């Protein structure tokens, strides 16, 4: 159990400001304020604001999500599911059930039917996915921009060549 007043004082947050936001039905703004100033994560920030709303003096910190900057994306292409995981500041990567980070995917996504089917299919025939592993690469936003710039440069050179060759 953590004392709310102590936490607010440590982070220079005015409890009255949170209470005023709650009175104005601006609960999301109150949560954002706590989230931005404490860095505790969204769930803990919400729990603190709701404890203040209930006039409680303590809250229980949720430590179950130690990686607050974790995201999982799934998409299907040609009937083949792909699972991508982004941990903290690391680049996004494709994850398979044999990957050590698969446990994190399962923790976040739970027992979604498509994920269970994907895992079962992978475990039954991992060689089917081997070609997918060999052709995968990590692409960040910066490399996409360079591809566009390079394509534009090549296009410009071709146009200039065509103009001068016809003169």
Q: H/E/C letters for each residue in 2-26?
A: EEHHHHHHHCCCCHHHHHHHHHCCC
More confident residue, 108 or 9: 9
Is the predicted pLDDT of residue 66 greater than 60, yes or no? Answer: no
Task: Give per-residue pLDDT as tens, 9-52.
Answer: 988 999 999 999 999 999 999 999 998 888 778 888 898 999 99
> Regarding beta strands 2-3 and 70-77, do their DSSP bridges make them parallel or antiparallel, or are they unpaired?
unpaired
Q: What is the pLDDT of residue 67?
A: 44
99 HSE (CA, 13 A, CB side): 17
Chain mean pLDDT for the chain: 80
Indicate the SS3 state at residue 116: helix
Structure tokens at 157: 């050179």
Residue whose tokens read 């994920």 = 115
Task: Give per-residue pLDDT as tens, 131-149.
Answer: 555 444 444 445 566 777 8
pTM of the predicted model over 0.75 = no
């Amino acid at each position: 159990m953590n004392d709310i007043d102590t936490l607010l004082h440590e982070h220079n947050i005015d409890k009255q400001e949170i209470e005023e936001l709650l009175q104005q039905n601006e609960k999301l703004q109150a949560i954002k304020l706590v989230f931005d100033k404490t860095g505790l994560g969204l769930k803990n920030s919400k729990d603190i604001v709701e404890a203040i709303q209930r006039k409680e003096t303590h809250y229980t910190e949720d430590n179950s999500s130690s990686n607050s900057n974790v995201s999982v994306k799934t998409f299907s292409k040609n009937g083949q599911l792909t699972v991508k995981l982004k941990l903290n500041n690391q680049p996004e990567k494709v994850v398979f059930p044999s990957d050590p980070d698969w446990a994190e995917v399962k923790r976040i996504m739970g027992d979604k039917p498509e994920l269970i089917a994907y895992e079962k299919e992978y475990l039954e025939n991992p060689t089917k996915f081997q070609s997918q592993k060999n052709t995968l690469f990590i692409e960040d936003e910066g490399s996409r921009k360079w591809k566009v710039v390079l394509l534009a440069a090549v296009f410009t050179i071709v146009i200039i060549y065509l103009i001068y060759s016809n003169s």
